[in-house]
Amino acid sequence: MSSYNAPFEIHVHGQVQLRADTSFDQLQEALKPLWKYAGARSLADGAASAYEEEPGIKFDAQEHLLQICWTVRGDDDFRQSLDEMCMSLNELCETGAALEVTFYDAEFEDEDGQEGTESRDDFVMLFVGPTPAAIMQVQRDLLVQDVVNMMERHFDGAELGGVVAEIDKLFTQRFDALVNSLEIGKPPRGPGGSSSGHGGGRRPRHLH
């Protein structure tokens, strides 16, 4: 799919802590939507970025760490490849992680921003993790960081505990709603007909 005539240069950036038992073959299969989109026949073949100065896709087997700083030329259909990759990568994650994906409008740059045209640049945050709770934890931590950084321009950090608590409350409500939705439709367990336990994994830890 990769082509010099593609409308976008798409940059994927982030790092993911993988399970200790993750093998290269497993990771290669999970990342297949990416390297296959780039027209490669294997992860080793497709790991290089379109830009030589970028490290590309790296697997640190000793640290069980996947590092991505990789650009490919493509179109909006790359979003489907990203969705497929995230679904597969979830099973290999040790913790939750965020991936930043930026779509740069290559055609707009080629036209030098001609008058009357608008850039189609886009930015997407993707989240992967072994459980919904792990994914929500990353989302929560990023939101707290953004809000605190913004509000520290006007308030001392020690004054923002209440704001962080309200953010935690929102994520707790979202997590509980997810757990309840997973419980609906489950067959009754035990002689009393009541189900026990939660289907959504651990509740996210809240850092104050």
Query: Token pair of 92, please?
Result: 């290999």
Q: Point out the least confidently predicted range of 75-79, 91-95, 114-118, 166-170.
A: 114-118
E strand or H helix that includes residue 175: helix 161-183
CB atoms within 10 A of CB 188: 9
3-state secondary structure of 49: coil
More confident residue, 185 or 139: 139
Quick one: tokens of 188?
A: 């009754």
Instruction: Say which CATH class 8-130 falls into.
Output: alpha beta
Domains of the chain by residue range: 8-130, 135-183
38's torsion region: left (phi>0), alpha (psi -120 to 50) or beta? Answer: alpha
pLDDT in tens, 89-110: 999 999 999 999 999 998 766 5
Separation between Cα atoms, residue 171 and residue 117, nearest integer Å: 40
